[in-house]
Structure 1
Amino acid sequence: MALARGRFEDLAWVTGWDVAFADLYLDALTLHRASPDAVAGPWRLAFGAAPGLPPEAHVLLGMNAHINYDLPQSLIAVIPSEDFASPSLLDRRRRDHERIDDVLASRIAEEDVALQRVGGRRTPLDRLLAPVNRRASRAFLRESRRKVWANTYALHAARLEGPAAYAVRVSDLEAASAERVADLLRPGPVLVRLAVHGFGVTL
């Protein structure tokens, strides 16, 4: 819907990026169904999470894999090496990347309602903290996307060194994203904790 409303500077590029980003999830899901042990660590932990976890936990595990692990790789897929030599072009890409924050922020309340409908637990304290949690979600989404952009630069630098160096950095990204899972599942007000300490990972 945001694409149709013309909220981005380069509609064609964002459309191609959206496809590349979605394909990483679909590829991970297909591989998981065929060979669960072969899928990358963050997705293995998300797909293999205990069914009894609250819906919010499953969402955070999927977000961790798709944002922290997949998103920098999708940006590398649609920003070729030569584009990094053009500061003006990269600024356009960065601005469109940041505009996703506004799209996500506009959906937080709606997604919260959807989680409640599928069994999200809401204690009286949860209901009291709902406005705080929504602000916290906006904060950690912005923070994670800034780190994604920095990680894209790190992956690009490795790409210039060659396939072996790039594979090492992707492996580092996989490990860092998988390590985030323990904190995401730790008891307590996770959304507030993420807003304070961060959701993203750094290469």
Structure 2
Amino acid sequence: MPEGVAAVVTEMQTRLDALPAGSGLREFLGTYQRTTTAVGKAILDGRFEDGDWVEEWDVVFARLYLDAYDAHVGSGLVPRPWRIAFEAPADLPALRQVLLGINAHVNYDLPQALLRVISDADFADPAVLAKRQRDHEAIDGVLASRVAAEDDQLTVSGGKSLLDRALQPLNRVSSKRFLREARQKVWHNTRELQAARLTGQAAYDVRLGELEVLSAARVADLLAPGQVLLRLAVAGFGVVLPPPA
């Protein structure tokens, strides 16, 4: 496994080891650790055009989650999407705990992570930017390969209701579609944040604040009663920054 990814996986294990067995925080953290391991393997297998860049991106992306997690555990300042996810009732089904974390991390953290590893010069170079976008999209293949395994993991752990299990084949297809949809929206939001970054820090902060509000609202929506994947099939997974005011 690449050194940077391996270090992140170890950090995640340290936090897992410190959590009590019944903590709702374990569900997303465990899922994320397994997914990060899969990304590390994909890098070694040469599944990306620029494996070094993907490793840097993966570490930066994970760090945003770990920073939010540490702030929550240490009673620090936590971004709103993560605060809602972290403060969800511990007895929520495991599937919903995982979806809360995925939603906060993809919708709010991922555009920020991409901006941190795509420079202004990269954005100005169509060939480099296209390569970055292709590697961003290639992550879908890695994540999609984990959908069935993670679905089975939730079933074995008792984290799914009878209805969830009955809908399992549909859920797996829907999850893959959500991944594609979210990636497209994330790329749009990354471009919007980049335009703001070129304008200046104040403009960027405003747009990031808008993304925080939109992402928090989507996480909160997942806490509403009902079959969450069916609701996502109607409402969609990602969020979209509107044109700047």
Q: Give TM-score, length-normalised by structure 1.
A: 0.95
Partner of 1:46: 85
More deviation, 179-188/110-119? 179-188
Note the C-alpha offset of 1:57: 0.9
Provide the residue aligned with 2:103 in structure 1. Answer: 64
**More displaced 10-residue stretch of structure 1: 176-185 or 113-122:** 113-122
Q: Are residue 114 (structure 1) and residue 153 (structure 2) matched? A: yes
Q: Percent identity?
A: 60
1:6 is matched with 46
SS at match of 1:2: helix
Query: 1:84 is aligned with what amino acid?
Result: F
Distance 1:77 1:115 in 2: 33
TM-score where L is the length of structure 2:
0.79
**1:150-189 alignment, distance < 5 Å:** 150-189=188-227
Question: Is the contact between residue 137 and residue 195 of structure 1 (CA under 8 Å) also seen in structure 2?
Answer: no
Partner of 1:101 in structure 2?
140
Runs (5+) with no aligned partner, structure 2: 1-40
Distance, in Å, in 2 between the alignment partners of 1:197 and 1:41 is 20
Give the structure, 1 or 2, with the largest relative contact order (CA under 8 Å, sep 6 or more): 1
Q: CA separation in 2, counterparts of 1:101 and 1:119?
A: 27
CA contact (8 A) 1:139 1:195 kept: no
Task: State the aligned residue count.
Answer: 201
Partner of 2:57: 17
Question: What one-letter code is carried by the residue in structure 1 that aligns with 2:82?
Answer: W
Q: Please state whether the residue corresponding to 2:88 is helix, strand or coil.
A: coil
CA contact under 8 A between 1:136 and 1:195: conserved in structure 2? yes
Match of 1:201 in 2: 239
RMSD: 1.2
1:141 aligns with 2:179: yes
Runs of 4+ in 1 over 4 A off after TM superposition: none
Structure 2 residue aligned with 1:26? 66
The one-letter amino acid of 1:120's match is G
- Counterpart in the other structure of 2:34: none
1:190 Cα deviation after fit: 2.0
Please tell me whether the aligned partners of residues 185 and 240 of structure 2 are also in contact (alpha carbons under 8 angstroms): yes
Amino acid in the other structure paired with 2:161: R
Deviation, 1:158, is 0.6
